[in-house]
Amino acid sequence: MRPPVVDLDGVAKTYGDVAALADAHLTVRRGEMLAIVGPSGSGKSTMLNIMGTLARPTAGTVRIDGHAVDDLSDRELSALRARTIGFVFQSFHLAGGVPALDAVADGLLYSGLPRGDRRRLAEAALRRVGLGPRLYSEPHQLSGGEKQRVAIARAVVGDPPLLLADEPTGALDSRSGAVVMELLHELHGAGTTVVVITHDRDIAESLPREVRIKDGRIEHDSAALRQEAVAR
């Protein structure tokens, strides 16, 4: 079996008396593509933020690429995150007035690469998502689907082994959504591990693995069911 990229062991997150996530056990192995699906408020973003080391859990152990997050200093954690994880957020997170090429090149600010190399890689990433003709467009000149593709280009420009996407198609019409999903499938085909949060049952069912979450608890994991079937 391939090594785990993400391993959640008994992970919980509480906000005051709200249990956003409770006793989550989840292993994501290198090269997998999976959907995390569940109703609004069920804990999906909480789980993704914990997987992405953007939030620390209130209980349990999180391992990323074999490293227990708890054992790392903030500095080591930032380095691990920069090297390992690309994020695509639901709300694009693109700064106004910044051309696409610069927005994507900024994704490499902490890579140690010189500016010329950062821009060259950014251009290649934008071409990869079909935005070659939009290198110098600013967010207000781009459609929602194009903005989401800039966000994906920025997430993958450093070629991270793990891509975490929170509702990447949530704000898009079905055609732009399909383009974005195709792109995520291509990245998966090229070896990236892809975790996608979605409300969309059709998208969730179209992915190789589906994890359903409700009231902060994982209530279904198609991979676990497969393993039980093999063991029987």
Ligand X SMILES: Nc1ncnc2c1ncn2[C@@H]1O[C@H](COP(=O)(O)OP(=O)(O)OP(=O)(O)O)[C@@H](O)[C@H]1O
Enumerate binding residues for ligand X (CB under 6 A): 15, 18, 20, 38, 40-46
Write the DSSP symbol of residue 158: T
Per-residue binding string, Mg ion, 4-43, x by CB under 5 A, is ----------------------------------------
Rg of the Cα trace of the chain?
18
* Minimum distance from residue 141 beta carbon to ligand X (Å): 28
- The crossing angle, in degrees rounded to 10, of helices 144-156 and 115-128 is 130
Retrieve residue 39's tokens.
Answer: 């109703």
**What, of ligand X, Mg ion, none, does residue 8 touch, CB below 5 to 8 Å by kind?**
none
b vs e for 175-194, b when ≥16 Cβ sit within 10 Å of the residue's Cβ?
ebbebbbebbeebbeeebbb
Position 169 contacts Mg ion (CB under 5 A): no
Q: Which residue is at the shortest CB distance from Mg ion?
A: 45
**What, of ligand X, Mg ion, none, does residue 43 touch, CB below 5 to 8 Å by kind?**
ligand X
Nearer to ligand X, 38 or 107 (CB): 38
Whole-number Å distance between alpha carbons of 90 and 124: 23
Report the relative pairing of strands 209-214 and 33-37 from DSSP bridges: parallel
Nearer to ligand X, 44 or 128 (CB): 44
- Between residue 42 and residue 61, which ones bind Mg ion under the rule CB under 5 A? 45
Retrieve residue 104's tokens.
Answer: 């994507």
> 205: which residues sit within 8 A by CB, 6+ positions away?
none
* Minimum distance from residue 33 beta carbon to ligand X (Å): 19
Residues that bind Mg ion in the complex, under the rule CB under 5 A = 45
